[in-house]
Amino acid sequence: MSHQKSFGATVLAPRSKFYQGPFGRICPDLEPWAPPGDEDAQDAFFLDFARDNMVERPGQAPGDLAGDPAAITDLENEFGSNIPAGYTYFGQFVDHDITLDTTSLQARQIDPDRILNFRTPRLDLDCVYGRGPGDQPYLYEHDADGLTGRMLIGKVDGFNLRDLPRNAQGRALIGDMRNDENAMVSQLQLAFLLAHNTLVDRAEAAGVSDPFAAARKTLTRLYHWVLWHDFLKRITVDEVHGCALKLEDLCGGRKAWELGLDDVYKWKHQPFMPVEFSGAAYRFGHSMVRNAYRTNFLHRGFTLDDAAPIFDNTGANDPDDLRGFRPMKAANVIQWDWFLQMTSSQGDFPQMARKIDTKLANALVHLHEGPANTADNVLAFRNLKRGVNLGLPSGLDVAKKYCLNPISLGPDEPQSLWYYVLKEAESLPGANRGQMLGRLGSTIICAVFAGLLKGDPCSFFNTDPCWTPDDDPLLRPGDDNQDSPSDSHVPNDGWALASIIRISGLPVDGGDINAQS
């Protein structure tokens, strides 16, 4: 879900079904899809289609929307989902934990031997811990006795509010620089750093011999729990999610997590990153991004007049927009009951993500690193083009491969797998329209995440399969989210993304913002 270098990336994984490198394919037997014509003709088709059909309000500049609160209200009401906006950026955070490729979008063909994923295809929080305190000590807090086992934390200039640690140029000192590319993912990265520190404090108080290792183990397990039991349950079909990874009773009274979609995604020796996932299906989150967000009560206010644009696309370099790679401003600090369902969420809050559909917010029509023409839908164009560069099959062919009832696409619509996944969600009947992925999108997403979790020998799904957060000695009842019954998607035990926010101590409501300011 990144809007930086990972969006300029492309790989051409070998088509052999026996390939088990950093990138691979789950549909190596299907033919690649591309629109007719040479590369220039294909680019023109994608650009025209993106501009005319994949924008909320084609032809209306993002700057016009930013100056028209009524238009923003109309858009948010028309395109709003039932998914709190914080999950858009948790999805981005997860993406940064498992994929990073820096090859150019312009490289039409790439030598497979040069393909490299700079992230492990494991959900190991290497974007938080980096390569560890021995190799990257600048990520960690030191005192007179050396490393304390805690992550380094910064402050918002002039306030008691906290920020990521930064160097003299304002660049964040974190395991993955992409987790500072907007205010929401930046504050989510900060939540994980602070949650780790809280767990170190608890481990020390309990007399644990290695507080750092204990805190890292608990936070990683809770992260896996939230990913599988909270995030993915919100965005995928229940039946697909329920069968993808199940705790099964085995003979002799044993239990183990078993994969139910390993015919879709499987590996020989270790998990790999399928390009059908990284280059298409998991990019559904782009359609969930809003034009603007209200960040906190004290420094902005309740109305849409106070909303900050996610990107300044007017050329004015708005200092109040939510772009990252710079020190956090108090006005952009996230008040989390405005982004997640929590006890104190009231009225119009939490703000909801956009629906999962074929429209992208006008704010994504032009990105800073793209061409100067603001009529070009850079992000949608890039995703469509990337699918061709990756040699991905059509969405229709992938649906047929798994005997899923295909949706209908018009003769002028691209057969791109990424577009198909969005169209499938948009085509769900009734109240489910755009509220979750359809069958094919759910199958790819659940199969890959289930495979990554089961394929990680250090995940609790393997090392302690009956573990729950309630059993962990470093977690406390007040960390859960049971006091938010209005959120029907919260797991029965209450452990959700909001739990990590609570553990971190970041501002949950206006009172917290006021106290910390």
pLDDT > 70? residue 26: yes
What integer best gives the mean pLDDT of the chain?
87
pLDDT > 70? residue 159: yes
Q: For residues 13 and 392, give the distance between their C-alpha atoms in angstroms, rounded to a whole number.
A: 10
What pLDDT does residue 141 have?
97
- Average pLDDT value for residue range 263-282: 92
- Would you call 102 exposed, middle or buried from its count of C-beta atoms within 10 A (0-12, 13-18, 19+)? exposed
- Contact (CB, 8 A) for 176 and 96: yes
Residue with more model confidence, 104 or 195: 195
Which pLDDT band holds residue 451 (cuts at 50, 70, 90)? very high
pLDDT > 90? residue 422: yes
Q: For residues 110 and 51, give the distance between their C-alpha atoms in angstroms, rounded to a whole number.
A: 28
- Of 126-140, 231-245, 335-349, 362-376, the one with minimum mean pLDDT is 362-376
- Own/partner pairs, 456-459, CB within 8 angstroms, 24+ separation: 456/122, 456/123, 456/124, 456/271, 458/122, 458/124, 458/220, 459/123, 459/221, 459/224
What pLDDT does residue 497 have?
97
- Average pLDDT value for residue range 299-306: 72
Residue with more model confidence, 7 or 351: 351
pLDDT > 50? residue 385: yes
- Average pLDDT value for residue range 235-248: 98
Helices (H), 238-336: 238-244, 275-278
Q: For residues 218 and 126, give the distance between their C-alpha atoms in angstroms, rounded to a whole number.
A: 15
- CATH code at position 158: 1.10.640
What pLDDT does residue 314 have?
56
Beta-strand relationship, 23-24 and 273-274: parallel
pLDDT > 80? residue 360: yes
- Average pLDDT value for residue range 434-442: 98
- Average pLDDT value for residue range 430-446: 97
The three-state secondary structure class of 151 is: strand
Which pLDDT band holds residue 19 (cuts at 50, 70, 90)? low
- C-alpha 414: how far from its chain's center? 25
Residue with more model confidence, 111 or 318: 318
What pLDDT does residue 108 have?
42
Encoded tokens for 80: 């709003």
What pLDDT does residue 363 have?
84
Q: For residues 222 and 195, give the distance between their C-alpha atoms in angstroms, rounded to a whole number.
A: 11
What pLDDT does residue 57 have?
80
- Average pLDDT value for residue range 15-30: 82
Alpha carbon dihedral 366, 372, 373, 378, in 10-degree steps, equals -40
Q: For residues 458 and 315, give the distance between their C-alpha atoms in angstroms, rounded to a whole number.
A: 47
Q: Number of helices and strands (H, E) in the chain?
A: 17, 12
The three-state secondary structure class of 368 is: coil
pLDDT > 90? residue 103: no
Measured distance between the N- and C-terminal CA atoms of the chain, rounded to whole angstroms: 31
For 476, half-sphere exposure in the C-beta direction (CA atoms, 13 angstrom radius) is 10
Contacts of 352 (CB under 8 A, 6+ apart): 76, 80, 81, 82, 83, 84, 85
Q: What does the DSSP 8-state code read for residue 88?
A: H
What pLDDT does residue 20 have?
62
Q: For residues 489 and 333, give the distance between their C-alpha atoms in angstroms, rounded to a whole number.
A: 26
- Identify residue 337 by its one-letter amino acid code: D
What pLDDT does residue 369 have?
53
- Identify residue 418 by its one-letter amino acid code: W
pLDDT > 60? residue 372: no
pLDDT > 70? residue 514: yes
Domain boundaries, position 397: 5-516
Query: Which residues on neighbouring strands pair with residue 147, listed in sequence order?
Result: 142
The three-state secondary structure class of 367 is: coil
Q: What percent of the chain has pLDDT over 70?
A: 82
- Average pLDDT value for residue range 39-46: 95
The three-state secondary structure class of 92 is: helix
- Of 18-32, 116-130, 352-366, the one with minimum mean pLDDT is 116-130
Q: What does the DSSP 8-state code read for residue 21?
A: S
- Contact (CB, 8 A) for 439 and 424: yes
Express each pLDDT in 466-498 by its tens digit.
999 999 999 998 898 765 656 766 666 789 999
- Of 2-6, 241-245, 259-263, 466-470, the one with minimum mean pLDDT is 2-6
What pLDDT does residue 388 have?
95
What pLDDT does residue 23 have?
86
- Would you call 352 exposed, middle or buried from its count of C-beta atoms within 10 A (0-12, 13-18, 19+)? buried
- Of 11-20, 223-232, 433-442, the one with minimum mean pLDDT is 11-20
Which pLDDT band holds residue 87 (cuts at 50, 70, 90)? very high
- Pick the closest to residue 182 from 59, 322, 68, 55 (CA basis): 322
What pLDDT does residue 13 have?
81
pLDDT > 70? residue 195: yes
Q: How many domains does the chain have?
A: 1
What pLDDT does residue 292 have?
87
Secondary structure (DSSP) of 108-121: SS--GGG---SS-S
pLDDT > 60? residue 9: no
- Identify residue 127 by its one-letter amino acid code: C
Q: In 184-326, which ranges are E strands?
A: 245-249, 255-259, 273-274, 292-293, 308-309
pLDDT > 60? residue 15: yes
Q: 28's torsion region: left (phi>0), alpha (psi -120 to 50) or beta?
A: alpha
- Average pLDDT value for residue range 223-244: 97
